[in-house]
A and B are shown apart, each in its own frame.
Chain A
Amino acid sequence: MRKKKAVTCTLLAVSAVFVCSGGLCWAISISATGSWSETIGSPPPAAGSDLPNTCESTTNVISINITATSDNWGLTVKKINSKWHDNLHLWVKRTSDGSGSGSISGGSSYIEATDIDNDFFNGNDDRSGINIQLKLTGISIQVPPDTYTATVYYTVSDQ
């Protein structure tokens, strides 16, 4: 009986050590601050003219912090619409590296946020203050006056 217990404990300990230090998985977390609100058509275009096709946020409209005990991570982005118009497309790009012990790469060109996860950028260890800029395209007078809302999901995963 004692032998059985000892074997069990040993296996558990080995397993825990393997899981927590062997690279299988790591505690990782992400936070995002900021939101983007924009009014299109104010001021209005000149009579006869259409609205500008594109609208960009400030370069730091969203700030992302990633905490990763260690190891590499990748970040994906997607958009879930609450109310949206088919003509409109939302794009995201990373405008700063942020700071921290880790490194970061990719995402410095716009990629579209769609309803499925798309690779955005990746890195390792902790990075904080990663600035994100958003862009809306497909703007035209054909889009009926209304308020369109979507939630952007930033998901960080171990790699």
Chain B
Amino acid sequence: MKVLAKTLLVAGVIVGLISAAIATTDTATSTVTITFSEISELAVSGDPGTLTIGTATAGSLPADQTDATTTMAWTSSVAAGTTRKITGSIASLFSGIDLYATVTAGGGSGTSAGEQKLIVTDTDFVTGIGNCNTSGETITFRANVTSIVAPYTSTQKVVTWTLTEDS
């Protein structure tokens, strides 16, 4: 009886070893690599309407003129810990007129800097832009007459908007 018990024990151990040696499961692997590129896309809906400086009250400069018919859209993704901003500049100044602009920034798409004067060097209009996409952000232009100059017509200036790294 003792002999049989010992034999069964040995047999059990060996059976276990045999079971372990014969694979009942196996694993293979594959790798998935997804790269998210940085994205920096900015667009405007078009040119604003013509700002016509009209008549003035005697003794005063002509009234300011505004246009809010254009919009801006942007899509931005940046590395963690960094942000972007939208700057604006004008190719050259109007004679006797300062041009201002405001760009809205709704719903986590950055912080509007409010109305800023457009000058020939870059000025911040929206800051703190992280990973977001937005469209239909209103651009409001305001022409402010600073001095009386000889009348002129159809003087176009190029305003450049740039989505760039926040410093």
Contact = CB atoms under 8 A, between A and B. Distances in A.
Interface in A1-23: 4, 7-8, 11-12, 15-16, 18-20
B37 A41 contact: yes
Contacts of A154: 27-30
A88 B4 contact: no
A153 B73 CA distance: 42
Contacts of B131: 141-144
**Chain A contact residues (Cβ within 8 angstroms of B): what range?**
35 or more
Contacts of B77: 41, 141, 143-145
A36 B37 contact: no
Interface stretch (A46-54, A101-109, A119-127): A46-54
A158 B136 CA distance: 59
Interface in B2-24: 3-4, 7-8, 10-11, 14-15, 18-19, 22-24
A30 B8 contact: no
A157 B24 CA distance: 6
Interface in B24-51: 24-43
Contacts of A149: 31-34
Interface string A38-69: 11111011111111000100000010100000
A146 interface: yes
**Chain B contact residues (Cβ within 8 angstroms of A): what range?**
35 or more
B43 A47 contact: yes
Overall SS of chain B's interface? strand
B76 interface: yes
Contacts, number: 190
B59 to A, nearest CB: 46
Contacts of B112: none
Contacts of B76: 141
Nearest to B10: A8
Interface in A104-159: 134, 136, 141-158
A19 B32 contact: no
B36 A44 contact: no
A143 B41 CA distance: 16
Interface of B: 3-4, 7-8, 10-11, 14-15, 18-19, 22-43, 73-80, 131-136
Given A11-B7, A62-B30, A150-B32, 8 more contacts: A7-B7, A30-B27, A32-B30, A35-B30, A48-B133, A143-B131, A144-B79, A146-B80
Interface of A: 4, 7-8, 11-12, 15-16, 18-20, 24-42, 44-51, 55, 62, 64, 79, 88, 90, 134, 136, 141-158
Q: Which 8 A/B pairs are nearest by Cβ-Cβ distance?
A: A48-B73, A48-B135, A47-B43, A32-B28, A41-B37, A47-B41, A11-B11, A157-B25
12 contacts: A7-B4, A24-B19, A30-B28, A34-B30, A37-B34, A39-B35, A40-B36, A41-B37, A42-B37, A44-B37, A48-B133, A49-B75
